[in-house]
Chains A and B, each alone.
Chain A
Amino acid sequence: MFFNNLKIAFRTLVKNKTYTTINIVGLMVGIAAVLLIYRMVSYELSFNKNFVHHDRIVRVVGTDPGDVSEQNLGVCIPVAAMRALRTDVPQFEKVARIRENWATLTVPGETEGIPKRKFSMGQDDIAFFADPEFDDIFKLTWLSGNNVSALGQPSNIMLSRSWAEKLFDNWEDATGKMVKIDNFIPLTVQGVFEDLPYNTDFPLTSLISYPTLELTQHREYLGLAPDDSWNSCSSNNQVYALLKDENQIDAANAVLANIGKDGYNLAPNGKRKTHLIQPFSMLHYDDELQNSGRSRTPYRSIKILIFIGILILLIASFNFINLATSQATQRAKEVGVRKTLGGRPAQLIAQFMSETALIVGISLILGMVLAEFALPLLQYVSDVPLDKPFLMESNIWLLLLCIFGIVTLLAGLYPAFVLSSYRPVEALSKNIKTRSLGGINLQRSLVVAQFVVSSILIISAAITIKQLNYIQNQDLGFKEDLVYTFSINTDSISLGKHTVLKNKLNAISGITDVSLNSDQPISSNTWSGNFRIEGRSEDETFETSYKFVDDNYHRTFGLQLLAGKWLAPSDTFQQVIVNETFIRKTKLGTPEEALQKKVQVWGKYYPIVGVVKDFHTHSLHTAHQPLTMVSRKDFFWQVGVKMTNQNIQGSLASLQKTFDEVYPEQVLNGQFMDERIQKFYEDDQRMSALCKGFGLLAIFISCLGLLGLAMHAAARRTKEIGVRKVLGASISNIVSLLSKDFILLVVIALFIAIPVAWYMMSQWLADFAYHVDLHWSIFFVAGMLAILVAFITVGIQGFRAAVADPIRALRDE
């Protein structure tokens, strides 16, 4: 019986080629989209699961008292707190301090100061200064010299396999050799561990023994706070721990709440910093707390992806239901005959389900092939590595089986029941109507649902595109064009050559300005602290952020002074520049009036010598904040270079040459400002690309369904169209006759989609401090687009029907 069903199913599908093709193409595209989404979701969900103890690992984080109203979570742990955490929490089996570091590792050469090899860690690599307990917690795989206790002694380093190979060609040769951090801090290689997989948030190049940090000369170089400091900390200092039992998080949190009670100062808002636990399983998904990896993906984004996947699969299944029910009348006679001959409903259902299963099966195979071809497109929306074929994905067979089962049931069950429920006498009668079977309303509802989803995605895409254009064309308050920035070291030797570098760069003909500074105008870094205005009794209740800049910063980055003058050349604090928001929030009056005032920074008062027009210091997600700019030479770990637009490649080559001459031990690791700025909006661009991509897919699948229905409507109404033509109907009469029902459905869908999209996109835009308004024209244009696409789809069918020969339609035989 099964093979008989399959054989008949196959014949039926071959007979109705158009119907079969539309169904298979729609389902294939839908399934391919779901597989691509699965690839992204499974990749994101696989993060950090490779560690043996992953469910017992936690990170200790801090709650910063923050501003008056809010309490911010932060990852930084002061050095003194680290010490307490190692001993005072009984629920911790092991505790490891780490300090993140993005160093240049060098292999010393024969000539002093010029290394044999040098490699700098970009944003995607990291080194940890770590305690030996780090390995107890994370259980690395050791290739050689698993002498983990060496991490307890100063000046030791463990390399990852790939970095050992970079530095020494063969990892086997690395152990026992010497490498240097920034060609300055010497370390002995004590072991090599296997590279951590791509799906961890530890892109570790090396582990450096934590006590290395405690040597005085290194502490100064790395700018560390003194050991006993509770009230100064860097987000690079973090603590990981292994719980004795994974269920002890609450107990540990209770203990943590008391740590630092005597150490931390009270903030102006009366609160004190405390600690709590972030489960390691949240490291990749936390909105607020940064990690050491390449990216974070909030659960919200993963849920959106899964939701889009389900919607697309639903839309594709709806097509199937619609086309199958619209075909129902044509199959009625067959049903009537089969029932008359003794076919039971269950047998008929089995037969119709076989057809569905066959279509879903074929679509599934084609969908997998399509997904494999479309895989490279994922790079626009995700970090997912693209080298693994789909079938190697874990659980992929289970997913395929689920899709097969769910879609077959979802798409096939209703039409099968409708068809098999015909009474033979009704089914054999010539006048059977889809209308009488309740199929029409269902079809209409499903078409509306499809277009609601498509329209929401299309409107969202339009709004994200508009917002991204707005961001890109927004005046940031500084000039990012042709400004190249790169980092430099600030150890005492490098510091001594800063001016040499600056002068040499200034001498290059394609370079107009050079500035040494702590940070470019816009960045994700924040230095901030309390401050006081001279003559006031208390610190302000809000913080100011700081930038440490030289006398040429404003020219290099094109900042606009509103009053006063720029900072005079100086190695240390002498004067300050503030921005408009600073004087507005501190109520210092006009920019000119503010020039008379002094600001207390780190214990001493300095005069405001200039007020600069507000410029964006963070992405457009954040509003302007008070900003103070001062000069401090030992914080100049970045260089900004303004170039002319002539022979940029030549200028870059000269810059590289100059850098290598001045700092032969360092690696030039630079980028143009506009590329850096783009990075801030990577997530937003991905969101936009997702909406665009899946919006187009959704509308494509919906239109396929509409095409099928329109073809069917035209076929069903052939006689009517013939009569109308004979009576004098024009082509446009017929086209509008066939299209208006469908267009009405799309219009209804728009009325539902627009408020939903409005709400969703206001939520999204609320995350930007500066954003476009949700003007009605966006909705109008997107709506018109949906109507136009639908009209073209059904209109073409209408046109074909309208120009067909009416005699064929009216012939009785």
Chain B
Amino acid sequence: MIRTNKLKKVYRTEEIETTALNEVDLHIQPGEFVSIMGPSGCGKSTLLNILGLIDNPSGGEYFFLDEEVSKYSERQRSNLRKHNIGFIFQSFNLIDELSVYENVELPMLYTKVPAGERKKRTEELLEKMNMMHRKNHFPQQLSGGQQQRVAVARAIVNNPKIILADEPTGNLDSANGDDVMKTLAQLNQEGTTIIMVTHSAYCSEFGNRVVRLLDGQIVSENTIAKYRI
């Protein structure tokens, strides 16, 4: 599903050049749940952004669904993204001006899903996330856990093939964090590929593989035998 070959990302400022990713080779099969771990500044988020097609690599190749996409234009990347990838962020990144319902509906506006279908899917997901009673509320009126549930609903509303989650539990208490992780594991069981960046060893155990990064390079890859559900 995802294959990178000598993937490289270099940040340049006037004085210094920082290599965030250094020849990363990563292979992810459909249905995998991969956790990316490592200390701050090791390149986790950079890798996730490139995999999510919201950033460009400085070098190397990136095959997404067997297509080389590293040289894609913004328009091509946007197209690929909106139909195939869902995002979950540490700080939720809900739009403050939109209600819970509208936030979940938003990705379908961009993929031109008909109105009736949008309503149906939004309501289904809000039910599933147990957020239906809050559908007219605005993000700032919700708790962190609730906000992240809405964010998850938004990430999966277009039935993406892959979900990229950047520290999805970083701003949550353990109970809410657990809920989110269970939801992700559930989605993974239903066939969605998940790539998650996390600091938490506990969270990483929900996945089936852990990739460790250090100074922009993969230093180890471990397969986890059992699920914790």
B residues less than 8 Å from A729 (CB atoms):
78, 110
Q: Is the CB of B91 within 8 A of A724?
A: no
The one of A723, A728, A807 in contact with B95, judged by C-beta atoms closer than 8 angstroms, is: A723
Tell me whether A807 and B93 are in contact (CB under 8 A): no
- Within 91-127 of B, Cβ neighbours of A (below 8 Å) are at 91, 93-97, 106-107, 110-111
How far apart sit A806 and B52, CA to CA, in the bound complex (Å)? 12
In contact, B75 and A730 (Cβ under 8 angstroms): yes
Query: Once the chains are docked, how many angstroms separate the CA of A724 from the CA of B98?
Result: 12
In the complex, are the beta carbons of A725 and B106 less than 8 A apart?
no
Q: Which of B54, B90, B91, B111 contacts A726 (CB 8 A)?
A: B54
Distance (Å) between the CB of B18 and the closest chain A CB? 15
Interface 1/0 per residue, A697-732 and B, CB below 8 Å: 000000000000000000000011011111111100
Complex CA distance for A724 and B87, rounded to whole angstroms? 11
Q: A728-B78, A728-B81, A807-B49 are contacts. A719–B93 as well, Cβ < 8 Å?
A: yes
Q: Which of B74, B82, B90, B97 contacts A727 (CB 8 A)?
A: B82
- Asked if B93 contacts A723 (CB within 8 A), the reply is yes
The answer to whether A726 and B95 touch across the interface, beta carbons within 8 angstroms, is no
Would you call B78 and A730 a contact (CB within 8 A)? yes
- CB <8 Å contact, B78 and A807: no
**Whole-angstrom distance between the Cβ of B150 and the nearest chain A Cβ:** 12
A198 to B107, CA, bound (A): 72
- How many Å from the CB of A799 to the closest CB on chain B? 13
Q: Counting CB contacts under 8 A, is A337 at the interface?
A: no
Interface pair A807/B87, CB less than 8 Å apart: no
Q: Digitize A735-762: 1 where CB-to-B-CB distance is under 8 Å, 0 elsewhere.
A: 0000000000000000000000000000
Q: Does A431 count as interface, using CB distance less than 8 angstroms?
A: yes
Interface centre among A722, A729, A810 (most CB of B within 10 A): A810
How far, in Å, is B64 (CB) from chain A's closest CB? Answer: 15
* Interface check A68, CB cutoff 8 A: no
* CB pair B106 A726 closer than 8 Å: no
Q: Which of A720, A722, A733, A805 contacts B96 (CB 8 A)?
A: A720
Interface positions, chain A 324-342, Cβ under 8 Å from B, are none
Q: How far is the CB of B71 from chain A (nearest CB, A)?
A: 17
Residue A803 lies at the interface, judged by CB distance under 8 Å to chain B: yes
Q: List the B side residues contacting A719 at CB < 8 Å.
A: 93
**Cα of A591 to Cα of B108 in the assembled complex, Å:** 79
Known contacts A730-B75, A807-B55: A724-B106 contact under CB 8 Å:
yes
Interface size class of B (residues with CB under 8 A): 20 to 34
Q: Which residues of A contact B79 (CB under 8 A)?
A: 728
B89 at the interface (CB under 8 A from A): yes
A446–B70 Cα distance when bound, in Å, is 47
Instruction: State whether the Cβ of B140 lies closer than 8 Å to any Cβ in chain A.
Output: yes
The answer to whether the Cβ of A538 comes within 8 Å of any Cβ in the partner chain is no
B96: chain A residues within 8 A (beta carbon): 720
Residues of A within 8 A of B106 (CB): 724, 727
Contact (Cβ within 8 A) B110 A733 = yes
**Docked-complex contact A810 and B78, CB < 8 angstroms:** no
The complex places the Cα of A384 from the Cα of B110 at a distance, in Å, of 60
Asked whether any CB of chain B lies closer than 8 Å to the CB of A110, the reply is no
* A722 contacts B93, C-beta separation under 8 Å: yes
Q: Is the CB of B93 within 8 A of A810?
A: yes
The answer on a CB contact under 8 Å between B90 and A720 is: no
CA distance in complex: A806, B78 (Å): 11
Who on chain B is nearest to A805 by CB? Answer: B55
Whether A812 sits at the interface, judged by CB under 8 Å, is yes
Q: How far is the CB of B65 from chain A (nearest CB, A)?
A: 16
Within the complex, what minimum Cβ distance (angstroms) separates A469 from chain B?
A: 46
Indicate if the CB atoms of B54 and A728 lie closer than 8 Å. no
Question: B78: which of A720, A723, A725, A812 is its contact (CB, 8 Å)?
Answer: A725
| Bound-complex Cα distance A719 to B96 (A) | 10
Q: Shortest CB–CB separation between residue A714 and chain B, in angstroms? A: 14
In angstroms, Cα B110 to Cα A807, docked, is 19
CB distance from A713 to the nearest CB of B (A): 11
Q: Are B82 and A812 in contact (CB under 8 A)?
A: no
Q: How far is the CA of A725 from the CA of B55 in the complex (A)?
A: 12
B residues near A726, Cβ cutoff 8 Å? 52, 54, 81, 87, 93
How many Å lie between the Cα of A729 and that of B74 in the bound state?
A: 11
Structural contact, A728 and B97, CB atoms closer than 8 A: no
A728:B49 contact, CB within 8 angstroms:
no
| CB-based contact A727/B54 at 8 Å | no
Please, how many angstroms separate the alpha-carbon atoms of A729 and B110 in the complex? 6
Known: A728-B107, A730-B75. A720 touches B95 (CB 8 A): yes
Residue of A nearest to B167 (CB): A812
Task: Give the distance in Å from the alpha carbon of A810 to the alpha carbon of B48 in the complex.
Answer: 13
- Say yes or no: A728-B82 contact (C-beta < 8 A), given A720-B96, A806-B54, A807-B49: yes
Produce 1/0 per residue, A105-131, CB < 8 A to B: 000000000000000000000000000
Shortest distance between the CB of B143 and any CB in chain A (Å)? 14
Tell me whether B78 and A724 are in contact (CB under 8 A).
no
The residues of A that contact B93 with a CB separation of less than 8 Å are 719, 722-723, 726, 810
Cα A723 to Cα B166 in complex, Å, equals 14
CB neighbours (8 Å) of B74 from chain A are: 803
What's the minimum C-beta distance from B7 to chain A, rounded to whole angstroms? 16
* Docked complex: A763-813 residues within 8 A CB-CB of B: 803, 805-807, 810, 812
Residues on B with C-beta less than 8 A from A812 are: 90-91
Quote the shortest CB–CB distance from A802 to chain B (angstroms): 10
Q: Would you give the 0/1 interface string for B58-91, flagging 1 where the beta carbon is closer than 8 Å to chain A? A: 0000000000000000110011011100010111
Question: Nearest residue in A to B106 (C-beta to C-beta)?
Answer: A727
Residues of A within 8 A of B81 (CB): 726, 728
A805 to B77: give the CA distance in the assembly, Å: 13
**A722 cross-chain contacts in B, Cβ below 8 A:** 93
Once the chains are docked, how many angstroms separate the CA of A727 from the CA of B156?
A: 11
Distance in Å: Cβ of B209 to nearest Cβ of chain A: 25
Closest to A812 in B: B91
**How does the 8 Å CB contact mask read for A593-631 relative to B, with 1 for contact and 0 for none?**
000000000000000000000000000000000000000
- List, sorted by A's number, 15 A–B pairs whose CB atoms are closer than 8 Å: A724-B95, A724-B110, A726-B52, A726-B87, A726-B93, A727-B82, A727-B87, A727-B107, A728-B79, A728-B110, A730-B75, A807-B54, A807-B55, A810-B89, A810-B93
Besides A719-B93, A726-B52, 6 more A-B contacts (Cβ < 8 Å) are A723-B95, A728-B79, A730-B78, A730-B110, A805-B55, A810-B89
Which 9 A-B residue pairs are closest in the complex by CB-CB distance? A728-B82, A728-B110, A727-B107, A720-B95, A723-B93, A812-B91, A806-B54, A807-B55, A726-B87
Chain B interface (Cβ < 8 Å from any Cβ of A): 49, 52, 54-55, 74-75, 78-79, 81-83, 87, 89-91, 93-97, 106-107, 110-111, 140, 154
